[in-house]
Amino acid sequence: MSENRTMEDSTSGSNTRLSEIRILMIGGRELGAKEASGKSSAGNIILGRNAFDISRRTARSVQATGDVDGRHLIVVDTPGWWWHYTIQNTPQFDRLEIIKSPTLCLPGPHAILLVIPVYLAFPSIYRMTLEQQIKFLSNEVWKHIIVLFTSTEPCDESSLKNKVRKWPDLEQLLGRCHNRYHILNINNQSDSTQVIALLEKIEKLAAQNKGQCLKISQSISA
Protein backbone atom coordinates (compact mmCIF):
# COMPACT_ATOMS: atom_id res chain seq x y z
CA MET A 1 0.00 0.00 0.00
CA SER A 2 1.44 3.39 -0.95
CA GLU A 3 1.96 6.11 1.62
CA ASN A 4 -1.26 7.82 2.73
CA ARG A 5 -3.35 5.51 0.54
CA THR A 6 -6.09 5.33 3.20
CA MET A 7 -6.43 9.08 3.12
CA GLU A 8 -6.75 9.02 -0.66
CA ASP A 9 -9.40 6.33 -0.57
CA SER A 10 -11.53 8.26 1.90
CA THR A 11 -11.45 11.41 -0.23
CA SER A 12 -12.07 9.92 -3.64
CA GLY A 13 -14.01 11.91 -6.15
CA SER A 14 -13.52 14.99 -8.28
CA ASN A 15 -11.90 18.07 -6.84
CA THR A 16 -11.15 21.52 -8.15
CA ARG A 17 -7.71 23.07 -8.05
CA LEU A 18 -7.85 26.10 -5.76
CA SER A 19 -6.03 29.31 -6.62
CA GLU A 20 -5.88 30.16 -2.91
CA ILE A 21 -5.65 27.71 -0.01
CA ARG A 22 -6.08 28.86 3.58
CA ILE A 23 -4.57 26.61 6.24
CA LEU A 24 -4.81 26.74 10.02
CA MET A 25 -2.24 24.75 11.98
CA ILE A 26 -2.98 23.55 15.53
CA GLY A 27 -1.42 21.08 17.94
CA GLY A 28 -0.19 20.41 21.43
CA ARG A 29 3.20 20.18 23.08
CA GLU A 30 4.67 17.91 25.71
CA LEU A 31 5.88 18.93 29.13
CA GLY A 32 9.66 18.78 29.24
CA ALA A 33 9.95 17.42 25.73
CA LYS A 34 13.36 17.82 24.09
CA GLU A 35 11.82 17.83 20.62
CA ALA A 36 9.24 20.34 19.38
CA SER A 37 5.99 19.16 17.83
CA GLY A 38 7.14 20.34 14.43
CA LYS A 39 4.15 22.60 13.84
CA SER A 40 6.16 25.68 12.86
CA SER A 41 8.64 23.54 10.93
CA ALA A 42 5.75 21.98 9.02
CA GLY A 43 4.50 25.45 8.14
CA ASN A 44 7.93 26.31 6.76
CA ILE A 45 8.03 23.10 4.72
CA ILE A 46 4.59 23.82 3.28
CA LEU A 47 5.51 27.40 2.31
CA GLY A 48 8.98 26.44 1.11
CA ARG A 49 10.68 29.12 3.19
CA ASN A 50 11.54 29.99 6.79
CA ALA A 51 8.37 31.94 7.49
CA PHE A 52 7.91 30.84 11.12
CA ASP A 53 10.47 31.08 13.91
CA ILE A 54 11.37 27.57 15.07
CA SER A 55 13.88 28.70 17.70
CA ARG A 56 11.15 29.29 20.29
CA ARG A 57 7.58 28.27 20.98
CA THR A 58 4.82 30.07 19.12
CA ALA A 59 3.43 32.62 21.60
CA ARG A 60 0.85 34.28 19.34
CA SER A 61 -1.06 33.20 16.28
CA VAL A 62 0.82 34.40 13.22
CA GLN A 63 0.08 34.42 9.50
CA ALA A 64 2.49 33.78 6.65
CA THR A 65 1.89 33.57 2.91
CA GLY A 66 3.55 32.12 -0.14
CA ASP A 67 3.00 30.77 -3.64
CA VAL A 68 3.42 27.02 -4.10
CA ASP A 69 2.77 25.04 -7.27
CA GLY A 70 0.51 27.71 -8.73
CA ARG A 71 -1.49 28.21 -5.54
CA HIS A 72 -1.43 31.16 -3.17
CA LEU A 73 -1.16 29.84 0.39
CA ILE A 74 -2.18 31.54 3.61
CA VAL A 75 -0.87 29.59 6.59
CA VAL A 76 -1.63 30.43 10.22
CA ASP A 77 0.48 29.00 13.04
CA THR A 78 -0.96 28.96 16.56
CA PRO A 79 0.30 28.51 20.13
CA GLY A 80 0.43 24.88 21.19
CA TRP A 81 -1.40 23.74 24.31
CA TRP A 82 0.08 21.32 26.84
CA TRP A 83 -1.20 17.85 25.92
CA HIS A 84 -1.38 16.88 29.61
CA TYR A 85 -3.43 19.91 30.67
CA THR A 86 -7.19 20.25 30.66
CA ILE A 87 -8.55 23.39 29.07
CA GLN A 88 -9.09 24.84 32.55
CA ASN A 89 -5.32 24.65 33.14
CA THR A 90 -4.40 26.15 29.77
CA PRO A 91 -3.36 29.82 30.04
CA GLN A 92 -6.24 32.08 29.05
CA PHE A 93 -4.04 33.99 26.60
CA ASP A 94 -3.19 30.80 24.69
CA ARG A 95 -6.84 29.79 24.57
CA LEU A 96 -7.88 33.15 23.13
CA GLU A 97 -5.10 33.08 20.55
CA ILE A 98 -6.26 29.66 19.32
CA ILE A 99 -9.93 30.65 19.29
CA LYS A 100 -9.27 33.85 17.33
CA SER A 101 -6.73 32.34 14.96
CA PRO A 102 -9.20 31.74 12.07
CA THR A 103 -9.61 35.52 11.75
CA LEU A 104 -6.07 35.62 10.32
CA CYS A 105 -7.23 33.71 7.23
CA LEU A 106 -10.67 35.12 6.50
CA PRO A 107 -13.23 34.16 5.41
CA GLY A 108 -11.93 30.99 7.09
CA PRO A 109 -9.53 28.10 6.59
CA HIS A 110 -10.15 25.41 3.98
CA ALA A 111 -8.30 22.94 6.21
CA ILE A 112 -7.15 22.64 9.80
CA LEU A 113 -3.93 20.68 10.07
CA LEU A 114 -3.77 18.94 13.43
CA VAL A 115 -0.06 18.36 13.93
CA ILE A 116 0.96 15.21 15.79
CA PRO A 117 4.58 13.97 15.80
CA VAL A 118 4.90 10.37 14.70
CA TYR A 119 6.92 9.55 17.83
CA LEU A 120 4.30 10.96 20.22
CA ALA A 121 2.48 8.60 22.60
CA PHE A 122 -1.25 9.27 22.55
CA PRO A 123 -3.08 8.35 25.79
CA SER A 124 -6.71 9.22 26.50
CA ILE A 125 -5.90 12.52 28.20
CA TYR A 126 -4.35 13.81 24.95
CA ARG A 127 -7.49 13.12 22.94
CA MET A 128 -9.75 14.62 25.61
CA THR A 129 -7.59 17.75 25.86
CA LEU A 130 -7.62 18.12 22.09
CA GLU A 131 -11.39 17.85 21.90
CA GLN A 132 -11.73 20.46 24.64
CA GLN A 133 -9.41 22.87 22.85
CA ILE A 134 -10.95 22.76 19.38
CA LYS A 135 -14.64 22.64 20.24
CA PHE A 136 -14.61 26.43 20.65
CA LEU A 137 -13.49 27.00 17.07
CA SER A 138 -16.69 25.82 15.41
CA ASN A 139 -19.41 23.19 15.66
CA GLU A 140 -18.23 21.92 12.27
CA VAL A 141 -14.52 21.84 13.04
CA TRP A 142 -14.12 18.08 12.44
CA LYS A 143 -15.25 18.44 8.82
CA HIS A 144 -12.11 20.45 8.11
CA ILE A 145 -9.40 18.57 10.02
CA ILE A 146 -6.55 16.64 8.44
CA VAL A 147 -4.14 15.00 10.88
CA LEU A 148 -0.61 15.94 9.89
CA PHE A 149 1.90 13.43 11.23
CA THR A 150 5.31 15.08 11.39
CA SER A 151 8.44 12.99 11.21
CA THR A 152 12.16 13.78 11.31
CA GLU A 153 12.99 10.74 9.19
CA PRO A 154 11.21 8.69 6.51
CA CYS A 155 8.03 7.06 7.85
CA ASP A 156 6.10 4.51 5.86
CA GLU A 157 2.47 3.47 6.01
CA SER A 158 3.22 0.28 7.92
CA SER A 159 5.03 2.09 10.73
CA LEU A 160 2.19 4.56 11.10
CA LYS A 161 -0.41 1.79 11.21
CA ASN A 162 1.53 0.08 14.01
CA LYS A 163 1.52 3.33 15.97
CA VAL A 164 -2.22 3.80 15.51
CA ARG A 165 -2.94 0.24 16.64
CA LYS A 166 -0.89 0.87 19.79
CA TRP A 167 -2.95 3.93 20.77
CA PRO A 168 -6.74 3.38 20.50
CA ASP A 169 -7.45 7.04 21.25
CA LEU A 170 -5.40 8.03 18.21
CA GLU A 171 -7.41 5.56 16.15
CA GLN A 172 -10.60 7.11 17.52
CA LEU A 173 -9.33 10.56 16.64
CA LEU A 174 -8.61 9.52 13.06
CA GLY A 175 -12.09 8.05 12.88
CA ARG A 176 -13.61 11.43 13.73
CA CYS A 177 -11.59 12.89 10.86
CA HIS A 178 -12.82 10.16 8.47
CA ASN A 179 -9.24 8.88 8.34
CA ARG A 180 -7.84 12.04 6.76
CA TYR A 181 -4.11 12.30 7.37
CA HIS A 182 -0.78 13.03 5.77
CA ILE A 183 2.81 12.22 6.70
CA LEU A 184 5.31 15.07 6.41
CA ASN A 185 9.06 14.65 6.82
CA ILE A 186 10.03 18.01 8.30
CA ASN A 187 13.74 17.28 7.79
CA ASN A 188 13.34 16.98 4.04
CA GLN A 189 12.52 20.47 2.80
CA SER A 190 13.82 19.64 -0.68
CA ASP A 191 11.03 17.10 -1.30
CA SER A 192 8.30 19.27 -2.78
CA THR A 193 6.20 16.24 -3.77
CA GLN A 194 5.09 15.67 -0.17
CA VAL A 195 3.78 19.25 -0.01
CA ILE A 196 2.01 19.04 -3.36
CA ALA A 197 0.35 15.79 -2.24
CA LEU A 198 -0.87 17.54 0.92
CA LEU A 199 -2.29 20.45 -1.06
CA GLU A 200 -4.14 18.03 -3.32
CA LYS A 201 -5.68 16.38 -0.25
CA ILE A 202 -6.79 19.77 1.03
CA GLU A 203 -8.43 20.43 -2.34
CA LYS A 204 -10.23 17.08 -2.12
CA LEU A 205 -11.42 18.00 1.35
CA ALA A 206 -12.62 21.39 0.11
CA ALA A 207 -14.53 19.62 -2.69
CA GLN A 208 -16.17 17.31 -0.14
CA ASN A 209 -17.22 20.40 1.81
CA LYS A 210 -18.60 21.92 -1.42
CA GLY A 211 -15.99 24.66 -1.30
CA GLN A 212 -17.12 25.93 2.08
CA CYS A 213 -14.40 26.96 4.50
CA LEU A 214 -14.68 26.71 8.28
CA LYS A 215 -17.47 29.01 9.40
CA ILE A 216 -16.34 31.43 12.09
CA SER A 217 -18.84 32.42 14.74
CA GLN A 218 -19.82 36.09 14.84
CA SER A 219 -18.52 36.39 18.41
CA ILE A 220 -15.01 35.45 17.20
CA SER A 221 -14.99 37.49 13.99
CA ALA A 222 -16.39 40.60 15.67
Domain segments of the chain: what residues?
19-221
Considering the chain, what percentage of its residues have pLDDT values greater than 70? 88
Residue 211 sits at φ, ψ, to 5 deg, of 80, 0
CA distance 122 to 114: 14
pLDDT-derived band of residue 91, with 50, 70 and 90 as boundaries? confident
pLDDT band at 89 (very low <50, low <70, confident <90, very high): confident
Q: Is the pLDDT of residue 9 over 70?
A: no
Tell me the pLDDT tens digit for each residue of 28-80. 988 765 556 789 999 999 999 999 998 888 899 999 999 999 999 999 999 98
Which has more pLDDT, 137 or 175?
175
User: How much is the pLDDT for 136?
Assistant: 83
Q: How confident is the model at residue 217 (pLDDT cuts 50, 70, 90)?
A: low
User: What does the pLDDT average to over 87-102?
Assistant: 89
Cβ neighbour number for residue 23 with a 10 Å cutoff: 24
CATH superfamily, with its number, for domain 19-221: P-loop containing nucleotide triphosphate hydrolases (3.40.50.300)
* More confident: 81 or 25: 25
Closest CA to 113 of 174, 41, 23: 23
**For 119-151, how does the pLDDT look when each residue is reduced to its tens digit (9 = 90+)?**
999 999 999 999 988 888 888 899 999 999 999
User: What is the spatial distance between Cα 52 and Cα 76, in angstroms, rounded to a whole number?
Assistant: 10
Q: What is the pLDDT of residue 55?
A: 86
pLDDT of the residue at 194: 96
For the chain, how far is it from start to end, CA to CA, in angstroms? 47
pLDDT > 50? residue 170: yes
Lowest mean pLDDT among 79-83, 113-117, 145-149, 172-176: 79-83
Q: 152 to each of 42, 98, 183, 187, how far by Cα in Å?
A: 11, 26, 11, 5
Note whether 191 and 35 are within 8 A (CB): no
